[in-house]
C-alpha cells in the first residue's frame, strides 16, 4: 500500500493527488467512453449516408466561421482588460437586428434582387457600424468607470448591460421573430453545397484575414497588441491606453456585426434573444482555443461549429437518444464546462493560465 | 456650460429611450393624482429634475444656477422633436412603441405643435432650475423632501392595492375616485412624510437635556416596540392582505429564500453562480417526481417529498461544485451558467420526457398536510414560506458568524492568501455550494407545491439573473439587503402589471447603475464596503504612473 502511494507520488511528479481532479477525470473518462461507444454504434448502424455527413460538416464549418468572428471579440477584450464582455452576444444581436431594417428596405425597392453583391456589402458595413458603435458606447459608459474594481464588479455590470440591451431591443422593435429577406443569388447550390453556406464561410475567412492584417500592420493594431501584452509598459511607451481599449471594443464589435449578418443569412431570422446562445458558444470557442489567443479563437470557433453540427448525429444517436438534435446546445455547454475543468488554457494555450 | 450640454444630451438620450421602448406609454395609464398627473409625466419630470441637479452639483453662484436650465431646455427640445417625428413621419413600422398616443404623452398632453414646444421648454427650464437650486438646500432636509416625494408617488402607485385594505373613510380621503391620489390626499401624504422626521428632529433638540439621562433605555424600548409591531404585522399579513397580496408575498418569500441561498455562495464566499436556477429547478422537479402520481409510482406525501427534494439538491450542489471548484471569478460564472442551461435543456428534451414530463411539465404535486389541515391556499402557504425564510435567515446568520463563515469571507477576499492561512479551500467552497443549493432547492420544492405544477419555462436563466439583481440592489452579502431587493425587484413588478413588461430592462439598469454608483448596495454589509474601499485605494495608488503616461498622445 505504502509503496503504491509512493509510486503514485513519483508518477504525478511528487505532488499530492487532488481528490477533485480524480473525480473530474473519472467523469471525463466516462463521457469520453460514451462518445466513443455512441460514435461506433452510429457508424456501425449506417444510419446516415456519406452525403449527409458531408452536409453536416459544411454546415458546421459555416456556423463555426460565425462563432469564430464573435469569439474574436471576446478574446480581444479579454486580452486588454482581463474581463469577459458578457454583453458581446448582444452586440452581435444588435448588428443583425438593425441590418434587418436596411435589408427590408432594400428588398422593398427591389435593390437586393438587382444588385445582390452591393446590397450584401452594404448590409455588412451597416451592421458592423451599428455593432461597433454599441460596443464602444458600452465600454465608455459601463466598463470604463469600473477599471481597477474587484473582478466580480465588471462581470456583474456586463451581465446587466447584456439584459439592458436585449430588452431595449425588445421594447424598440417588438418581441416577435423578424424574417430576413432572402438573397436570390445565394439560393441554390454550387458544387452540391448550399451557396449561402459557402459565402458565409468565405466571408468569415475574409473578415478574419482583414482583422489579422489590421492587427499586424496598422498603428492602432500595434497599440492594441501592446496594451494586451502589458498595459503599464505600453502606457509608458506613450500608447494612449484608453483609446487602444476603445478601439479593441470597436474592432470586436465590427466583427460581431459582420457575424450577425452572416448568421441572419444562414438562419434567415432575427429576434431580440438571438444573441444569448451564439454569445455563450462563441465564448466557449474562445476558451476552447485559449482565451486571449487570436488564432485560438478562430480555430476554437471552427471546432465547436463542427462538433455541434456533427455531434448529435454522431454520438448521441448511437446511444439511442431520441431527437438528438435537441441536445446540440447541451453538447456545446458540456464542452465549455469540460474545457474549463481540464484545460482552462485551451487547445492552443493562453498567456494567462494562472488567472483562471 | 459643457457640463450642461453633456447632461442635456444624456437626458435626451434617456428620454428617447424611455419613449421608444414603450415605457412612457405603458405608464401613462397609471394616474398618480386624479387624472391630471400620470406616472409617465412624473418620470419625465424626475428626469428633468435630475439633469438640472447634476448640472448644478457644484453651482457656486447665480450664473452657474442659470446654466442648470440648459439641459432642461435641451431635453424639452429633444422630446418635442421626438413627438414631431412620431406624429409626422410615423416610425411605427420600425419602432413598435411609436404609437399615435406617444406625441401627446411626451408633450404633457399638448401635442407636437408650437404650444407643445413652448410648454415643454417652459417646463424643462423651470424643473431644471429647481433641480439646480436643490443643490443649495442642505443635504438633510433635501433628503427628507425627496424621500417624501418618493413615498407620495409610491402611495399613489399602489392605490389599487392599498385601497381595499384601508378603512373606507381613509380611502375616500386619500384617493380620488377617478384614479390616483386626490389633491387633499397628496398633501396629506406628502405633509406627513415631511413632518415626521422634522418633528422628530425638533423634539430631539428640545429634549436634549432629558434625552441624555436615559437615551439608551428609551432607544431600546422604542426598538423593541417597533420589532414587536413588525412581527405582528407580518404574522397577520394573510388575514388582512387577502389572496392577491398573499400570492405576491409568497413569490417574494420564495425569492428571498433563493436570495439567502445565493448570498451564501456569492455574498459570503464570493463565487458568482449564474446558474443558480439549476438548484431551484432540481428542487422543484425532485418534488414533482417524488410526489406527483403522474410520473412513476412514488407519489410520496409532501413532507417526505420536501426533505428528499432538499437532500437531492444538496447532493447536486456538491456534484456541480466539485468540478468547478478549481475555477475562479468569471470562468466560474460562465461554467455555472452552462450547468443551469444544461439542466433546462435536458428537462425540455424528448429524451427525458418519460421521466420529467418534457415541455408540458408535471402537474398534481402534493400539498402539505398538518394533521387534518391541508394547506392549499396562498394565505396558508405564506406561513410555510415565512417559516422557511426564518430558517434560511437563521442558517445564514449562524454560518456568517461561524468559523466556516469567516473562512468564506477570507476566500472572497483573497483565495491564495486564505489557502496559505490554512483554510481548506475544497471543503469551504463545497459547503458554500451545498448550503446555498439547499435553500434554492427548498425554494423550488415549495414553488412546485404552491403552483401545483412545474414547466421548464419557469426555470430559465432569467430566474438566476433575477436573484443576482436582487442581491446586488440590496448589497451583496447583506441579509437585510435581500429583503429590500426582493421587495423592490419582485414585489413591486408583481403589484404593478405594467412594470412586468420592463422588468428585465430594469434589472439590467439596476445591475449596471448599482455597480457604478453604489457597488456595496442600498443596505450594505460592513466588510464588503471596506473591501471595495481598499480596492479603490489600490487602484488610486496605481493610477498616477499610468495617468502621466496616458496624458501624452501616442498610439
Gyration radius from chain A CA atoms: 22
In this prediction, residues B417-421 reach a mean pLDDT of 85
Residues 492-521 of B with CB under 8 A from A: 502, 504-505, 507-512, 515-516, 519
Q: How confident is the model at residue B552 (pLDDT cuts 50, 70, 90)?
A: very low
Does residue B7 carry a pLDDT above 70?
yes
Q: What φ, ψ does residue A116 adopt, rounded to 5°?
A: -60, -40
B18: its cell numbers: 424611455
The cell for B519 is: 457597488
- Burial state string for B183-203 with b = 16 or more CB within 10 A and e = fewer than 16: eebbebbbeebbeebeeeeee
CB atoms within 10 A of CB A28: 15
Nearest-neighbour CA in chain A from B545: distance (Å): 8
Helix boundaries (H) for B2-138 = 2-20, 23-27, 39-55, 62-67, 69-88, 102-106, 114-133
CA distance B209 to B399: 42
What's the pLDDT band for B388 if we cut at 50, 70, 90? very high
Q: What are phi and psi of A30, to 5 degrees?
A: -60, -45
The predicted structure's pLDDT at residue A19: 67
- Residue A186 and residue A206: Cα distance in Å, rounded? 18
Residue A16: pLDDT band by 50, 70, 90 thresholds? Answer: low
Q: Which of A19-23, A87-91, A140-144 has the least mean pLDDT?
A: A19-23
- Give the C-alpha separation, A325 to A313, whole Å: 7
Contacts of A164 in chain B (CB under 8 A): 505, 508-509, 512
According to the model, what pLDDT value does residue B528 have? 67
Question: Average pLDDT, whole number, for chain A?
Answer: 80
- What pLDDT does B311 receive? 93
Q: Assess B323–A contact: CB distance below 8 Å, yes or no.
A: yes
Res B215 pLDDT > 60: no
Chosen for mutation from B98, B318, B338 (greatest number of chain A CBs closer than 10 Å) is B338
* Of A257 and A80, the one with more pLDDT: A257
Average pLDDT over residues B449-463: 85
Rounded to a whole number, what is the distance in Å from the CA of B503 to chain A's nearest CA?
A: 9
Q: How does pLDDT run across A80-92, given as a tens digit for each residue?
A: 888 888 889 899 9
Helix (H) or strand (E) holding B547, with range, is helix B526-551
- Give the SS3 label for residue B226: helix
Name the nearest CA neighbour of B279 among B446, B427, B474: B446
**Are A334 and B272 inside 8 Å of each other by CB?**
no
What is d(CA B39, CA B33) in angstroms, rounded to the nearest whole number? 9
Work out the average pLDDT over A323-350.
Answer: 75
Backbone phi, psi, residue B137, to 5°: -75, 140
Residue B257 has pLDDT above 90, yes or no: yes
Write out residues 137-156 of A within 8 Å (CB-CB) of B.
142, 145-156
Q: Say if residues A64 and A138 touch (Cβ distance below 8 Å).
A: no
**Which residues lie across from B409 on neighbouring strands?**
none
A43 in B contact zone (CB under 8 Å) = no
Task: Render pLDDT for B133-161 as a digit per residue (tens, 0 to 9).
Answer: 887 777 778 888 888 888 888 888 888 77
pLDDT in tens, B350-362: 777 777 777 777 8
Say if residue A107's pLDDT is above 60.
Answer: yes
Q: Are B75 and B11 in contact (CB under 8 A)?
A: yes
Question: Nearest CA to CA, how far is B534 from chain A (Å)?
Answer: 10
Per-residue pLDDT for A356 more than 50? no
**C-alpha to C-alpha distance for B371 and B353, rounded to whole angstroms:** 35
Q: Rounded to the nearest 5°, which phi and psi values hold at A87? A: -85, 5
Chain B interface mutation, best of A34, A286, A337, A353, highest count of B Cβ atoms under 10 Å: A337
For residue range A280-302, list pLDDT tens digits in order. 888 888 888 877 778 888 888 88
State whether residue B349 is helix, strand or coil.
Answer: coil
- Which comes out higher in pLDDT, residue B505 or B369? B505
Q: Determine the average pLDDT of the residues in B281-292.
A: 88
Pick the residue with more confidence: A207 or A195? Answer: A207
Chain B residues whose beta carbon lies within 8 Å of the beta carbon of residue A170: 21, 505
**Residue B453 phi, psi (nearest 5):** -160, 155
B546-552: list long-range contacts, CB under 8 Å, 24+ apart: B546/A231, B546/A232, B546/A235, B546/A241, B549/A235, B549/A236, B549/A237, B549/A238, B549/A241, B550/A235, B550/A240, B550/A241, B550/A242, B552/A238
Q: For residue A15, is pLDDT > 70? A: no
pLDDT value, residue A109 = 80
And the C-alpha cell for B458? 419557469
Mean pLDDT, residues B364-377 taken together: 78
Q: Is 80 exceeded by the pLDDT of residue B64?
A: no
Of A315, A297, A256, nearest to A94 (Cα)?
A256
Tell whether the model's pLDDT for residue A149 goes beyond 90: no
Running DSSP on this structure, what letter comes out for residue A326?
Answer: G
Q: What are phi and psi of B363, to 5 degrees?
A: -125, -175
| DSSP label of A47 | -
Do residues B189 and B155 touch, judged by C-beta distance below 8 A? yes
Residues B324, B425: Cα–Cα separation, whole Å? 12
pLDDT attached to residue B441: 92
Grid coordinates belonging to B110: 399638448
**Cα B532 from Cα B520, distance rounded (Å):** 8
Question: Region A19-41: what's the mean pLDDT?
Answer: 77
Helix (H) or strand (E) holding B362: strand B362-363
Residue B366 falls in which region: left (phi positive, over 0), alpha (psi -120 to 50) or beta? beta
| Residue A129, pLDDT score | 93
Among the ranges given (A235-244, B263-272, B360-369), the one the predictor scored with the smallest mean pLDDT: B360-369
CA B395/CA A294 separation, integer angstroms: 47
**pLDDT above 70: percentage of residues in chain A:** 87
Q: Which of A304-313, B295-304, B442-451 has the lowest mean pLDDT?
A: B295-304
Residue of A nearest to B318 (CA): A20
Asked if A148 and B334 come within 8 Å (Cβ–Cβ), the reply is: no
What's the mean pLDDT when you consider all of chain B? 80
Sorted by sequence, the CB contacts under 8 Å of residue A215 that are 6+ apart come out as A221, A224, A225, A251, A294
Helix ranges (DSSP H) in B401-525: 403-413, 415-420, 425-451, 461-474, 479-486, 492-495, 497-500, 503-517
Q: How far apart are CA A346 and CA A332, in angstroms?
A: 15
Q: Hey, which of A22-26, A233-237, B479-483, B540-544 has the most confident mean pLDDT?
A: B479-483
Residue with C-alpha cell 442600498?
A: B522
Q: Where are the beta strands (DSSP E) in A152-299?
A: 178-179, 189-190, 193-194, 269-270
ipTM, interface predicted TM-score of the complex: 0.81
| Angle in degrees, CA A91, A212, A200, rounded to 5 | 60
In chain B, % of residues over pLDDT 70 = 90
Q: Which of A20, A84, A163 sits opposite B426 (nearest CB)?
A: A20
Mean pLDDT of A265-275: 84
> In this model, does residue A20 exceed pLDDT 70?
no
Tell me the β-bridge partners of A189. A194
Q: What is the DSSP string of A52-83?
A: HHHHHHHHHHHHHHHHHHHHHHHHHHHHHHSS
**Rounded distance, CA B483 to CA B488, Å?**
8
Largest pairwise CA distance in chain A: 82
- The reply to whether residue B546 touches residue A235, judged by beta carbons under 8 angstroms, is yes
Q: Within its chain, how far is the Cα of B137 from the centroid?
A: 29
Distance from the A42 Cα atom to the nearest Cα atom in chain B, whole angstroms: 17
Burial code of B395-428, b = ≥16 C-beta within 10 A, e = fewer?
A: bbeebbeeebbebbbbbbbebeebeeeebebbeb
What percentage of chain B has pLDDT greater than the value 90? 9
Q: Where are the beta strands (DSSP E) in chain A?
A: 178-179, 189-190, 193-194, 269-270
Q: Are A92 and A279 in contact (CB under 8 A)?
A: yes
Better-scored residue on pLDDT, A247 or B350: A247
Q: Say how far apart CA A183 and CA A197 lie, in whole Å.
A: 13
Is residue B546 over pLDDT 50?
no
Is pLDDT above 60 for B212? no
B485-B489-B493 Cα angle (round to 5): 150
Helix, strand, coil share (%) of chain A residues, nearest 5: 80, 0, 20
Element (H or E) spanning B159, and its range? helix B159-162
Provide φ and ψ at B327, rounded to 5°.
-95, 160
Contacts for B65 with CB less than 8 Å, ≥ 6 apart: B56, B59, B129, B132, B133
pLDDT cut 90: percent of chain A above it: 6
Give the separation between CA A105 and CA A101, rounded to whole angstroms. 6
Is there a contact between B106 and B23 (Cβ–Cβ < 8 Å)?
A: no
Residues contacting residue B497 through CB under 8 Å, at least 6 positions apart: none
As given in the structure block, the three cell numbers for residue B46 are 424626475
Distance between B29 CA and the closest CA of chain A, angstroms: 18
pLDDT at B236: 79
Residue A17 has pLDDT above 70, yes or no: no
Which structural domains are found in chain A, ordered by start? 47-354 (1.10.3470)
pTM of the complete model? 0.83
Distance from CA of B20 to the nearest CA of A (A): 6
Chain B positions touching A152 (Cβ under 8 A) are 270, 272, 329
Cβ separation of A236 and B549 shorter than 8 Å? yes
The answer, yes or no, to whether residue B259 has pLDDT greater than 90, is yes
Q: Is the pLDDT of residue B532 over 80?
A: no
CB-CB contact of A91 with A142 (8 Å): no
Q: Which residue, chain included where needed, has cell 489600490? A: B538
**Per-residue pLDDT tens for A40-77?**
777 777 777 777 787 888 888 888 888 988 998 888 88
| A116 three-class SS | helix
Q: Is A5 exposed, middle or buried (0-12, 13-18, 19+ CB in 10 A)?
A: exposed
CA contacts within 13 A on the Cβ side of B296: 17
CB-CB neighbours of B353 under 10 Å: 15
Describe the crossing of helices B69-88 and B114-133 by its angle, rounded to 10 degrees: 150
The residue that leads in pLDDT, A128 or B80, is A128
Amino acid at each position: 500500500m505504502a509503496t503504491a502511494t509512493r509510486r503514485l507520488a513519483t508518477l504525478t511528479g511528487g505532488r499530492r493527488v487532488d481528490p477533485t481532479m480524480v473525480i473530474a477525470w473519472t467523469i471525463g473518462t466516462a463521457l469520453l467512453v460514451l462518445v466513443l461507444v455512441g460514435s461506433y454504434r452510429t457508424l456501425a448502424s449506417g444510419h446516415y449516408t456519406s452525403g449527409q455527413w458531408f452536409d453536416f460538416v459544411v454546415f458546421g464549418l459555416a456556423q463555426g466561421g460565425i462563432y469564430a468572428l464573435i469569439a474574436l471579440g471576446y478574446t480581444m477584450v479579454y486580452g486588454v482588460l482581463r474581463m469577459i464582455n458578457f454583453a458581446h452576444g448582444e452586440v452581435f444581436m444588435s448588428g443583425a437586428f438593425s441590418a434587418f431594417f436596411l435589408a427590408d428596405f432594400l428588398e422593398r425597392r427591389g435593390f437586393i434582387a438587382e444588385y445582390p453583391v452591393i446590397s450584401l456589402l452594404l448590409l455588412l458595413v451597416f451592421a458592423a457600424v451599428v455593432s461597433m458603435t454599441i460596443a464602444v458606447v458600452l465600454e465608455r459608459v459601463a466598463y470604463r468607470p469600473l477599471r481597477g474594481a474587484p473582478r466580480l464588479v465588471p462581470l456583474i455590470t456586463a451581465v446587466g448591460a447584456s439584459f439592458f440591451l436585449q430588452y431595449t431591443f425588445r421594447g424598440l422593435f417588438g418581441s416577435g421573430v423578424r424574417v430576413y429577406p432572402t438573397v436570390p443569388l445565394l439560393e441554390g447550390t454550387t458544387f452540391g453545397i448550399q451557396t449561402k453556406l459557402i459565402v458565409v464561410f468565405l466571408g468569415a475567412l475574409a473578415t478574419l484575414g482583414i482583422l489579422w492584417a489590421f492587427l499586424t500592420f496598422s498603428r492602432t493594431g500595434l497599440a492594441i497588441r501592446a496594451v494586451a501584452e502589458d498595459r503599464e509598459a505600453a502606457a509608458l511607451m506613450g500608447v494612449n491606453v484608453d483609446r487602444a481599449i476603445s478601439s479593441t471594443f470597436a474592432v470586436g464589435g465590427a466583427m460581431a456585426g459582420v457575424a450577425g449578418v452572416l448568421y441572419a443569412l444562414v438562419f434567415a431570422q432575427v429576434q431580440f434573444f438571438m444573441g444569448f446562445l451564439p454569445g455563450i458558444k462563441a465564448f466557449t470557442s474562445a476558451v476552447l482555443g485559449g482565451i486571449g489567443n487570436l488564432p485560438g479563437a478562430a480555430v476554437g470557433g471552427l471546432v465547436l461549429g463542427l462538433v455541434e453540427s456533427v455531434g448529435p448525429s454522431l454520438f448521441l444517436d448511437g446511444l439511442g437518444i431520441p431527437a438528438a438534435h435537441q441536445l446540440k446546445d447541451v453538447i456545446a455547454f458540456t464542452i465549455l464546462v469540460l474545457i474549463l475543468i481540464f484545460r482552462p488554457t485551451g487547445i492552443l494555450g493562453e498567456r494567462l493560465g494562472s488567472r483562471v | 456650460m459643457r457640463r450642461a450640454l453633456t447632461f442635456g444630451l444624456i437626458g435626451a438620450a434617456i428620454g428617447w429611450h424611455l419613449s421608444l421602448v414603450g415605457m412612457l406609454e405603458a405608464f401613462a395609464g397609471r394616474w398618480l393624482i386624479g387624472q391630471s398627473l400620470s406616472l409617465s409625466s412624473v418620470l419625465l419630470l424626475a428626469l428633468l429634475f435630475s439633469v438640472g441637479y447634476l448640472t448644478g452639483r457644484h453651482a457656486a453662484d447665480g450664473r452657474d444656477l442659470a446654466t442648470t436650465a440648459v439641459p432642461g431646455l435641451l431635453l424639452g427640445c429633444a422630446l418635442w422633436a421626438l413627438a414631431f417625428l412620431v406624429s409626422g413621419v410615423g416610425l411605427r413600422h420600425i419602432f413598435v412603441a411609436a404609437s399615435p398616443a406617444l406625441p401627446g404623452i411626451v408633450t404633457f398632453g399638448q401635442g407636437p405643435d408650437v404650444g407643445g414646444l413652448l410648454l415643454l421648454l417652459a417646463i424643462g427650464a423651470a424643473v431644471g432650475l429647481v433641480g439646480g437650486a436643490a443643490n443649495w438646500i442642505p443635504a438633510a432636509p433635501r433628503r427628507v423632501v425627496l424621500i417624501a416625494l418618493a413615498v407620495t408617488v409610491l402611495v399613489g402607485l399602489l392605490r389599487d392595492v392599498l385601497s381595499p385594505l384601508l378603512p373606507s373613510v381613509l380611502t375616500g380621503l386619500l384617493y380620488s375616485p377617478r384614479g390616483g391620489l386626490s389633491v387633499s390626499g397628496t398633501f396629506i401624504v406628502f405633509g406627513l412624510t415631511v413632518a415626521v422626521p422634522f418633528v422628530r428632529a425638533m423634539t430631539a433638540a428640545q429634549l436634549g437635556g432629558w434625552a441624555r439621562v436615559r437615551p439608551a433605555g428609551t432607544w431600546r424600548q422604542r426598538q423593541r416596540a417597533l420589532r414587536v409591531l413588525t412581527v405582528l404585522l407580518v404574522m397577520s399579513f394573510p388575514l388582512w392582505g387577502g389572496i392577491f397580496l398573499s400570492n405576491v408575498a409568497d413569490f417574494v418569500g420564495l425569492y428571498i429564500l433563493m436570495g439567502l441561498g445565493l448570498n451564501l455562495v456569492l455574498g459570503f464566499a464570493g463565487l458568482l453562480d449564474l446558474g443558480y436556477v439549476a438548484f431551484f429547478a432540481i428542487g422543484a422537479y425532485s418534488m414533482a417526481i417524488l410526489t406527483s402520481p403522474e410520473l412513476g409510482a412514488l407519489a410520496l406525501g409532501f413532507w417526505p417529498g420536501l426533505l428528499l427534494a432538499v437532500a437531492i439538491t444538496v447532493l447536486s450542489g456538491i456534484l456541480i461544485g466539485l468540478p468547478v471548484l478549481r475555477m475562479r471569478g468569471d470562468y466560474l460564472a460562465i461554467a455555472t451558467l452552462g450547468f443551469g442551461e444544461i439542466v433546462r435543456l435536458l428537462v425540455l428534451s424528448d429524451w427525458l420526457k418519460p421521466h420529467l414530463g418534457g415541455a408540458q411539465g408535471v402537474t398534481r404535486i402534493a400539498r402539505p398536510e398538518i394533521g387534518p389541515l391541508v394547506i392549499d391556499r396562498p394565505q396558508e402557504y405564506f406561513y410555510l414560506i415565512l417559516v422557511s425564510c426564518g430558517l434560511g435567515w437563521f442558517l445564514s446568520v449562524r454560518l456568517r458568524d461561524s468559523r466556516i463563515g469567516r473562512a468564506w469571507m477570507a476566500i472572497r477576499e483573497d483565495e491564495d492568501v486564505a489557502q496559505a492561512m490554512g483554510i481548506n479551500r475544497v471543503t469551504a467552497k463545497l459547503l458554500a455550494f451545498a448550503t446555498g443549493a439547499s435553500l434554492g432547492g427548498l425554494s423550488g420544492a415549495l414553488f412546485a407545491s404552491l403552483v401545483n405544477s412545474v414547466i421548464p419555462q419557469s426555470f430559465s436563466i432569467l430566474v438566476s439573473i433575477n436573484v443576482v439583481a436582487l442581491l446586488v440592489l440590496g448589497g451583496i452579502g447583506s441579509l437585510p439587503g435581500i429583503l429590500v431587493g426582493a421587495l423592490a425587484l419582485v414585489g413591486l413588478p408583481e403589484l404593478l402589471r405594467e412594470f412586468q413588461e420592463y422588468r428585465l430592462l430594469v434589472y439590467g439598469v439596476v445591475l449596471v447603475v448599482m455597480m457604478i454608483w453604489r457597488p456595496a448596495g442600498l443596505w450594505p454589509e460592513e466588510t464588503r464596503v471596506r473591501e471595495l474601499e481598499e480596492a479603490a485605494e489600490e487602484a488610486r495608488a496605481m493610477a498616477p504612473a499610468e495617468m502621466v503616461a496616458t496624458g501624452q498622445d501616442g498610439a
